[in-house]
Structure 1
Amino acid sequence: MSADARQAADPTQPETAGTVELDVRTLPHGGRHEVIFGHLNALGTGESFIIRNDHDPKPLRYQTESLWPGTFEWNYLETGPAVWRVEITRVD
């Protein structure tokens, strides 16, 4: 994702070594997946972003794998108990 695309996706989110880190804890619970899906759609092959959440985002992962099988790889960077950080990379 280009710097312009990252800014257009959500200019308030910090970047970590060129990777957007999206803190979904600050988003309304009912709209989190929609925002994350927007970030997923903006990724090019090999690009990634990190989500920060207050619980394990397994339901999001299952939904993502159902909608886009084999498209994204999930790498847990932090696994609670208070914060989960997951890097999602587009692999197709």
Structure 2
Amino acid sequence: MALLINDLCINCDVCAPACPNEAIRMGETIYEILASRCTECVGHFDEPQCVEVCPVECIDPDPDHPETREALLEKSLRLAGERA
């Protein structure tokens, strides 16, 4: 499933550059993760990089966007094709 950033976010700017899919953008008050681009780093890394670098642990699974590992890999391949 995609990830989401909760209101504990301190806008430290470390998550966005860590995302290989450019899924993290500054929202109105905190960073936001675009579910359409989030693959939990499947196809790139073993663990979501935003979660790895977040100093306040404000990134959670997004219950509104459940996806299997296979679906995340398919999305990752599609996104890679868009960047090529």
Structure 1 length normalisation: TM-score?
0.34
Q: Please identify which structure carries the higher helix content.
A: 1
* Higher RCO (CA < 8 A, seq sep 6+): 2
Structure 2 length normalisation: TM-score?
0.37
Q: Please identify which structure carries the higher strand content.
A: 1
